[in-house]
């Protein structure tokens, strides 16, 4: 009341002054704006997508940024990309080659997913054949006639298996096919309900810890001349291995091939928030690796620069603020160097593509 009387005496526009004081007082009484909350489409909880995204979201929460996020279990990469494009989720993990096909609208996608934007590479997963000791499976060629899980429809694993089988001139009818999700593999293999499972994932993870260390399931080395030729004919694949000691009972290297996993965002995410996500990935590597050792698998030399959806504007913001100068020194951090290298090359590629006659 004292403020209103003083306002009336000193200012003939009493009612205007009173309204200003009222609005000021009301503003101070309003609750603070809640941080924006984003969902990240991942995969099965025991595999690699889910713990990788969970570690990222926990680190974001610890840093008390102006947004939070939550890892959400999903059927896999194809679902993730569709949900991201439709705005059902805000961020998504997927194989890089699937993201590129989705953005272009190439099979198995029936239209371009134009809302997809790239943030950063995260790690490389390994295509693995796991078999029970009783199955007699010693190599990939031993699979026909066996009970084999090849992944659920909509997963990146299922698409790769079908492509590989086609390359080897194998038909699904050559096997007793199962189509379970990765989270169901321990029960299926540990209880000997199937003979083998083919699955693409990052390592180490809880599913394969249980399979190898608790159930005696064997990981089969896939590398041979046929696999080498299969990998060589497709830019999406590269040789990859699971090192001995990754699991307690794994006493030899397991060779095969792998695919890059990237983090994508919807185009409508604020650039400032994407910039902060990328900054967490670059500056909080030790904390992320402590929670999800898969983050250690990134290699700055492994990531192609053209077969991806366009970068989100937040990536450009990150490089303008952190590494945008032409005389920047290498940071020594693999993910920062990988993202910077991709970003610079992709910018040049986009300029050439957009402006060539």
> 357: which DSSP letter?
-
Q: How many residues does this entry show for the chain? A: 357
DSSP tally for the chain: helices H, then strands E: 13, 10
Over 75-128, what HEC string results?
Answer: CCHHHHHHHHHHCCCCEEEEEHHHHHHHHHCCCCCCCCCCCEEEEEEEEEEEEE
State the average pLDDT over residues 248-273. Answer: 95
State the average pLDDT over residues 270-285. Answer: 93
User: What's the burial of 333, exposed, middle or buried (CB within 10 Å: 0-12/13-18/19+)?
Assistant: middle
Say how far apart CA 13 and CA 19 lie, in whole Å. 10
Of 111-120, 128-137, 155-164, 221-230, which gets the smallest average pLDDT? Answer: 155-164
Q: Is the peptide bond before 308 cis (omega within 30 degrees of 0)?
A: no
- pLDDT classification of 155: cutoffs 50, 70, 90: confident
Write out the residue limits of the CATH 3.40.190.10 domain(s) in the chain: 36-123+263-351, 126-259
What is the helix (H) or strand (E) element at residue 39, kind and residue range?
Answer: strand 36-41
Instruction: Look up the CATH number of domain 36-123+263-351.
Output: 3.40.190.10
CATH superfamily ID and name for 126-259: Periplasmic binding protein-like II (3.40.190.10)
- pLDDT classification of 7: cutoffs 50, 70, 90: very low
Listed ranges 19-33, 80-94, 319-333; the one with the highest mean pLDDT? 80-94
Choice between 345 and 257, residue whose per-residue pLDDT is larger? 257
Please say if the pLDDT value at position 352 is more than 50: no
Angle at 195 between CA 193 and CA 196, to 5 degrees: 115
State the average pLDDT over residues 12-16. Answer: 51
- pLDDT classification of 345: cutoffs 50, 70, 90: very low
Q: In the predicted model, what is the mean pLDDT of the chain?
A: 83
Please say if the pLDDT value at position 238 is more than 80: yes
Say how far apart CA 228 and CA 338 lie, in whole Å. 25
Task: Give the pLDDT confidence score for residue 8 in this predicted structure.
Answer: 44
Task: Give the pLDDT confidence score for residue 325 in this predicted structure.
Answer: 47
Which backbone phi and psi does 176 adopt, to 5 degrees?
Answer: -95, 100
Classified as helix, coil or strand, 343 is helix
| pLDDT tens-digit map of 97-132 | 999 999 999 998 999 999 999 999 888 889 999 999
What is the helix (H) or strand (E) element at residue 266, kind and residue range?
Answer: strand 254-266
Task: Give the pLDDT confidence score for residue 68 in this predicted structure.
Answer: 97
- pLDDT classification of 265: cutoffs 50, 70, 90: very high
Of 155-159, 170-174, 246-250, 268-272, which gets the smallest average pLDDT? Answer: 155-159
Choice between 339 and 59, residue whose per-residue pLDDT is larger? 59
């Amino acid at each position: 009341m004292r403020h209103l009387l003083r306002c009336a005496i000193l200012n003939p526009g009493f009612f205007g002054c009173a309204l200003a004081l009222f609005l000021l007082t009301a503003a101070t009484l309003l609750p603070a704006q809640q941080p924006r909350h984003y969902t990240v489409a991942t995969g099965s909880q025991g595999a690699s997508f889910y713990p990788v995204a969970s570690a990222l979201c926990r680190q974001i929460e610890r840093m008390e940024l102006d947004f939070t996020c939550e890892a959400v279990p999903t059927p896999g990469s194809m679902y993730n990309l569709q949900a991201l494009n439709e705005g059902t989720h805000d961020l998504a993990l997927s194989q890089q080659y699937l993201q590129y096909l989705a953005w272009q609208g190439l099979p198995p996608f029936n239209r371009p997913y134009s809302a997809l934007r790239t943030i950063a590479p995260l790690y490389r997963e390994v295509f693995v054949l796991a078999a029970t000791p009783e199955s007699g499976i010693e190599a990939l060629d031993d699979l026909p006639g066996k009970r084999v899980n090849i992944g659920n429809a909509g997963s990146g694993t299922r698409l790769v298996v079908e492509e590989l089988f086609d390359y080897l001139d194998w038909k699904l009818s050559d096997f007793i096919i199962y189509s379970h999700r990765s989270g169901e593999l321990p029960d299926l293999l540990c209880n000997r309900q199937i003979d083998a499972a083919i699955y693409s994932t990052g390592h180490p993870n809880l599913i394969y810890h249980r399979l190898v260390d608790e159930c005696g399931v064997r990981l089969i080395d896939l590398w041979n001349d046929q696999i080498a030729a299969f990998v060589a004919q497709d830019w999406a694949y590269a040789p990859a291995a699971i090192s001995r000691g990754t699991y307690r009972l794994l006493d030899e290297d397991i060779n095969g091939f792998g695919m890059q996993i990237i983090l994508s965002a919807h185009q409508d995410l604020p650039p400032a928030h994407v910039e902060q996500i990328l900054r967490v990935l670059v500056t909080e590597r030790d904390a992320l690796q402590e929670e999800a050792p898969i983050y250690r698998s990134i290699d700055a030399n492994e990531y192609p620069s053209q077969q991806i959806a366009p970068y989100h504007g937040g990536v450009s913001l990150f490089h303008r603020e952190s590494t945008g100068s032409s005389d920047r020194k290498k940071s020594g951090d693999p993910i920062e160097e990988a993202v910077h290298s991709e970003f610079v090359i992709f910018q040049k590629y986009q300029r050439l593509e957009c402006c060539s006659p």
